[in-house]
Structure 1
Amino acid sequence: MRPPITPRGRGTAHNPPNRFAPITGEACDDGWEQEVPAPCLTEVRLEQAKTVISRNQSPDVGFDRSINPYRGCEHGCIYCFARPSHAYWDLSPGLDFETRLIAKTNLAERLEAELSKPGYVPQPIALGVNTDAYQPLEREQRLTRQALEVLLRFRHPVHLITKSALVLRDLDLLAALAEQRLVSVSVSLTTLDDELKRIMEPRAASPSARLRTLRTLDDAGVPVSVMCAPMIPMINDRELEAMLEAARDAGARSAGYVLLRLPHEVGPLFEAWLAEHFAQRAEHVMSLVRQCRGGADYDSRFGSRMRGEGPFAALLAQRFRLACKRLGYGQRQEAFGLDCSRFAPPGQQMSLL
């Protein structure tokens, strides 16, 4: 069979069964194959969540708790490490991840209840980590804005990471949080090439829009950083220095990067994407990926999963370090100094200590 045609505005046409599925099927050509795929509309399920603050003990990330208003992500980034999480709802990490979304409609209510629990100790909450809190669905659901309103009322520190210009809609809340040193925003930047962005992150903001977002946030006094992630060998790694420079000029105060991660079902989806868009270099790309992962598509060990190992990974780390030094990132405030001491649930007296 010929490979399926990726629907316009989606990251993949493939919808493989998830790794927990008891039954799988195999497609065959019966002579009725359509050359043009049917439109893939987005379906939204509404969920009443029991809890909304997720905890982690990973040494590779700078936070121990996070909030994700949505499951699945309409941005459709082919490389997204969160795709395998859709398997837990018996959905495919492929096209289902982009088109069958779940919204936690009681997010604000549950967040307020969890922050109000006796003995709760505040630490910065990462908002929008597994999937983007400002994906297109947020325009109508407004769950991220509701969460920010709760966090502002409780004076709780929060860190946002997004690749959407929609974050500027909430500039009023972000500026109010920034005045109390309660917020920082990281904008994910993967390329400066509009065409590469189109096929790699079909419904995410354009590179120029992300740079404008950085500049607008910085002008409003909101601490901003750039995350060059993921860096993909022979696809976008050559842009690393240019992206860091463009982000610095737009106001980014610090920077980070992550090497491409291909856990579980993401590996085959990414390889199919390479075959469709970069057939001539696909084998070379995957060879370099595996050299960074001990010969496998992915290595999940703490300490290496974000950076990889081997000559290519070491060279990428050196390039990042030298570029940050040259651009002055090393002289900028790294952690933004989010203030946990201001935390005060409404109706409760602040500590006098």
Structure 2
Amino acid sequence: MSQISFLSSLSPSPLPLLGRQADISYHAARAKSILNDPKATGMGYWSINPYVGCAFGCAYCYARYTHRYVMERAAAKPEADPALQDKLKKMPPWLAFERHVVVKENAPSVLRKTLRQGSDKHLGLIRGEAVVIGTATDPYQPAERTYRITRGILEVLADHADMNVVIITKSPLVTRDIDLLTRIGRNSEVSVHISLITLDRELARRLEPRAPTPESRLRALVRLRQAGIAAGVNCMPVLPGITDHPAALDALVKRVAEADATYIGACALRLQSAARQRYLPFIEQEFPHLASRYRKAYANGYQVSDGYREGLSRFFRGLCEKYGVKTRDYDADHAESAIAEEQLRLSI
């Protein structure tokens, strides 16, 4: 897929500054389209991303380098803010992803118009095809408290029936929208996937420096389940040598089961080039004893060895049987296979 196709989802704009929060800047953008077609992205489902970039700063994030094309194009505009141009020149793309977040201000209205048109292209959405919110950003990152783009999108989806709405997030802010999720659930399928890779608060802070604490995510899971909303946990990615210790995984699955999760799924780290450029230097700095092992383990591609993944899958299935929670084995699920980076850009 071409870079031009990816960029066409946003109208040409110098990305005017909306506001700041500490060292994070928020920029306005007008979306020309908001629903990403599975035929274009190769993901196997529709996707919506209310923001470009993410303030949580997870070291392993695979979506960081999709952000630079939007920022580079905006900075190239003659009317662009010189200060923004200067900052982007000095800032590596992986850091810009979490420091300059793009807000798709008109996303709800664009979605409403798209669904109102009722073209054959979108008929699958009312036949149960999944639409996933948050495939390349967190829809409930701090920006959402102010700009409420995700809530606006849910308000639109609540007006339609026979859909399959999925939300992926690390944030307990999702519980703010329990009212809308309940409305959607009356006429459609709706589920929330909470991303949680460790219960260790200090380790989580090193890996996901601005993300909500593990405890707050578990509390959100409990609230969602008490409200009757299908909600589970994505233990993704499992980081070899860091979050894959048997006792730690056992404790995590136990806590998730106690929270009455609908399911828990796991997948080993997939280190495509977009993530590799940030993650491997991070390992060298934070976990130097693992650096050479990582480079060897991922020397021949984005996947760790078949033996590791198969062993992880067996162990994880055993834990889920032990604690009586349903499991999703993403490493064994071909529908969840990694997508090409050119296709990933289209999902923004």
1:56 CA drift (Å): 2.4
Paired residue for 2:255? Answer: 246
Q: Deviations over 1:24-56 (max 9, x none)?
A: xxxxxxxxxxxxxxx971111111111000122
Identity value in percent: 35
Q: Which amino acid aligns with 1:153?
A: D
Paired residue for 1:97? Answer: 97
Q: Aligned match of 1:81 in 57, 62, 65?
A: 62
Matches within 5 A, 1:135-214: 135-155=141-161, 156-214=163-221
Q: Which amino acid aligns with 2:47?
A: S
Q: Which amino acid aligns with 1:282?
A: A
CA distance in 2, matches of 1:200, 1:189: 11
1:58 CA drift (Å): 9.5
Q: Deviations over 1:191-248 (max 9, x none)?
A: 1011111111111110111111110000000011110011010010113232222111
Q: Which amino acid aligns with 1:243?
A: L
| Bigger Cα displacement from structure 2, 128-137 vs 319-328 | 319-328
1:265 CA drift (Å): 3.6
Pair 108,202 (structure 1): closer, same or farther in 2 beyond 3 Å: same
Paired residue for 1:44? Answer: 26
State how many pairs are aligned: 280
Q: Deviations over 1:311-344 (max 9, x none)?
A: 2111111112222222223499xxxxxxxxxxxx
- The answer as to whether partners of 2:265 and 2:327 remain within 8 angstroms in 1 is no
Q: Which amino acid aligns with 1:70?
A: Y
Q: Deviations over 1:104-160 (max 9, x none)?
A: 100011101111123331222101111110011111010000000000012343111
Paired residue for 2:269? Answer: 260
Matches within 5 A, 1:62-141: 63-89=44-70, 90=72, 92-118=92-118, 119=120, 120-121=122-123, 122=125, 123-141=129-147
CA distance in 2, matches of 1:64, 1:280: 39
1:259 CA drift (Å): 1.5
1:180 CA drift (Å): 3.3
CA distance in 2, matches of 1:286, 1:179: 49
TM-score (norm 1): 0.74
Return 5+ residue gaps in structure 2 as ranges. 1-20, 73-87, 329-348
Q: Give the match's secondary structure for 2:288.
A: coil
1:177 CA drift (Å): 2.0
Q: Give the match's secondary structure for 1:158.
A: strand
1:283 CA drift (Å): 2.0
Q: Give the match's secondary structure for 2:159.
A: helix
Pair 232,60 (structure 1): closer, same or farther in 2 beyond 3 Å: farther
- The answer as to whether partners of 1:126 and 1:160 remain within 8 angstroms in 2 is yes
Higher helix share: 2
- The answer as to whether partners of 2:62 and 2:274 remain within 8 angstroms in 1 is no
CA distance in 2, matches of 1:247, 1:59: 31
- The answer as to whether partners of 1:164 and 1:210 remain within 8 angstroms in 2 is yes
| Bigger Cα displacement from structure 2, 65-74 vs 257-266 | 257-266
Does residue 223 of the first structure (1) align with residue 219 of the second (2)?
no
CA distance in 2, matches of 1:287, 1:244: 29
Query: Where in structure 1 do 4 or more consecutive aligned residues deviate above 4 Å?
Result: 57-61
- The answer as to whether partners of 1:267 and 1:297 remain within 8 angstroms in 2 is no
Paired residue for 1:320? Answer: 316
Q: Which amino acid aligns with 1:329?
A: V
Paired residue for 1:10? Answer: none
- The answer as to whether partners of 1:234 and 1:285 remain within 8 angstroms in 2 is no
Q: Aligned match of 1:329 in 316, 325, 331?
A: 325
Name the Cα RMSD after superposition: 2.3
